[in-house]
Amino acid sequence: MQAASLQDAVAQTYAAGSSAELAFKKINAFRAVQGLGPLNQNANADIAAKNHQAYVALNNSGANGHVEVAGTPGFTGATVTDRLVAAGYPAVIAGEVIAFSLEFPNPDTSAVDNLINSVYHRASMMYQGFTTVGVAGEDATNPLYMDFGATKSQLNAGDYVGVYPTNGQTGVWLTHGVEVPNPFYQEMEMTQDNMCTKTSSPISLTTEASTTLSVTSFTVTEAGQTTPLDVRLITKATSTQDTTYLGTNVAFVVGKAPFKANTTYNVHFVGKATGAATGSANGLSIDKSWSFTTGSYKRGCQ
């Protein structure tokens, strides 16, 4: 079975109390509770994130915020990989997330919380191989930008299984956040009203990055009840779009209605991860149960 090869955390140097420091701490806490390796600050990646933040603001290109166009003011690279390399970080793999925390003010939320509370952006931030992050903190007019990269991937053990929300977690949001691309595109438009009335916060289970996860059952049941909630299963196999934005090693369920406030839910997953990393021709059988408790927050909902 593949052994884990995770890097040690290195102290960051963002200004105390800044948006960048908050984002750095939030994403690393999110990864740590799932047993994922830490992301370490890189000054060149910080430059890449700040350059791109400035580019989007200068060109008013937020509608296509991950792309730059050659010949336009402030251009440093078409893709996040190009921009990291241009800033002096020789990324082999790369990713980027962008978010505001202030669209719907709430003292307990941040831009990273908004990203975590989604399918595709959470999946990006759970990517096991990333080792580096560069942060351009948000301000009154610019969203947060985080650029991820690695020159050599971190590795989780072949029997790795991570879940989110984690066992015993409290304060879980009631609904899925607004995100683009839309993971529900086959069913409904990505509108605030649809997210507020037709979704729950997403629940995910992840195995080692190179494995293929098959799902036998993935249920969510309110504590004290016997009938599971009506949920959507979202994996790489569920749609053409998901083959682009999700790995073979992750599965999500999202309820078809909001979670109840201040309520405990029990989750049960049965499935299998296959691949050389598991060290077995039969793969890794998974039968996992856990629970979490919601808070009362529905992002952007009345």
Residue labelled with tokens 């438009």: 189
What's the mean pLDDT in 180-194? 96
What's the mean pLDDT in 42-58? 97
Residue labelled with tokens 């925390």: 101
Quick check: 273 pLDDT over 90? yes
In angstroms, the Cα distances linking 295 to 107, 108, 175, 221 are 14, 11, 11, 16
The pLDDT assigned to 184 comes to: 97
CATH dotted code for 19-150: 3.40.33.10
By the 8 A CB rule, do 114 and 177 touch?
yes
Measure the CA–CA gap between 284 and 30, rounded to whole angstroms: 24
CATH dotted code for 161-293: 2.60.40.1220
Q: Which two tokens stand for residue 213?
A: 């996860």
- List CB contacts of 100: < 8 A, sequence separation 6 or more: 111, 114, 138, 143, 144
- How far the first Cα of the chain sits from its last, in Å, is 49
Closest CA to 277 of 302, 254, 248, 255: 248
How do strand 144-150 and strand 132-136 relate by DSSP bridges?
Answer: antiparallel
CA dihedral sign, ordered 70, 71, 73, 76: positive
Residue labelled with tokens 């196999």: 237
Measure the CA–CA gap between 52 and 148, rounded to whole angstroms: 13
The pLDDT assigned to 107 comes to: 47
Q: Where are the domains of the chain?
A: 19-150, 161-293
pLDDT > 70: percent of the chain = 97
Q: What is the mean pLDDT of the chain?
A: 95
The count of residues in the chain is 302
Measure the CA–CA gap between 175 and 258, rounded to whole angstroms: 5
In degrees, rounded to 5, the angle at the alpha carbon of residue 25 between the alpha carbons of residues 22 and 26 is 80
pLDDT tens track for 28-49? 999 999 999 999 999 999 999 9
pLDDT tens track for 86-115? 999 999 999 999 988 755 455 456 889 999
Measure the CA–CA gap between 15 and 22, rounded to whole angstroms: 10
Measure the CA–CA gap between 37 and 189, rounded to whole angstroms: 35
By the 8 A CB rule, do 101 and 111 touch?
yes
- List CB contacts of 38: < 8 A, sequence separation 6 or more: 6, 7, 8, 9, 28, 31, 32
Closest CA to 142 of 235, 57, 222: 57
- Collapse the DSSP code of 93 into the 3-class scheme (helix H, G, I; strand E, B; otherwise coil) and give the result: strand
Measure the CA–CA gap between 118 and 252, rounded to whole angstroms: 10
pLDDT band at 233 (very low <50, low <70, confident <90, very high): very high
Quick check: 82 pLDDT over 50? yes
What's the mean pLDDT in 106-128? 87
Quick check: 9 pLDDT over 50? yes
pLDDT tens track for 282-302? 999 999 999 999 999 888 887
Measure the CA–CA gap between 289 and 9, rounded to whole angstroms: 30
* DSSP label of 54: H
- Other C-beta atoms closer than 10 Å to the C-beta of 126 total 21
